[in-house]
């Protein structure tokens, strides 16, 4: 079994690539979900949110999605600040998903695990020092 060093793959390890892909995928989903919730907030029944309505959470998802997309593309481009931005946005998304535990428990648990793996991947897989 061979492992790829950061210098052989252009500064990206497997964990970094995993984290960048998940940042882009999650950013895309959050962008679409946020736009959908904002556009159709009058059709969505607010059930179980700790605070705020569906329109509020739609704007939060939209903003988080845009930042996740930017962080993912920055990580792919090899920008070291992309790793820090990715860690920060994954930590914020981890915090946000705690509010969805009672609304969508399985989806929230999956998102919590994925965001934890993204934080791990960007912190362990990067060749920059924080």
For 44-67, write each residue's pLDDT tens digit.
555 555 566 677 878 888 999 999
Residue (of 100, 36, 103, 115) closest to 68 by Cα position? 115
CA-to-CA distance for 41 and 29, rounded, in angstroms? 17
pLDDT given for residue 48 in this prediction: 55
Instruction: Give the residue extent of every domain in the chain.
Output: 14-40+51-124
pTM for the predicted model, two decimal places: 0.77
Residue (of 129, 124, 92) closest to 17 by Cα position? 124
CB-hemisphere CA count at 13 Å for 37?
Answer: 19
């Amino acid at each position: 079994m061979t492992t790829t060093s950061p210098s052989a793959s252009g500064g990206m390890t497997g964990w970094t690539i995993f984290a960048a892909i998940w940042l882009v995928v999650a950013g895309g989903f959050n962008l679409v979900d946020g736009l959908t919730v904002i556009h159709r907030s009058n059709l969505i029944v607010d059930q179980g949110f700790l605070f705020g309505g569906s329109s509020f959470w739609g704007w939060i998802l939209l903003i988080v999605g845009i930042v996740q997309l930017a962080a993912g593309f920055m990580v792919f481009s090899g920008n070291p600040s992309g790793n820090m931005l990715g860690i920060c946005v994954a930590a914020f998304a981890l915090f946000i998903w705690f509010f969805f535990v009672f609304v969508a428990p399985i989806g929230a648990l999956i998102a919590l695990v994925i965001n934890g793996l993204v934080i791990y991947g960007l912190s362990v897989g990067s060749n920059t020092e924080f």
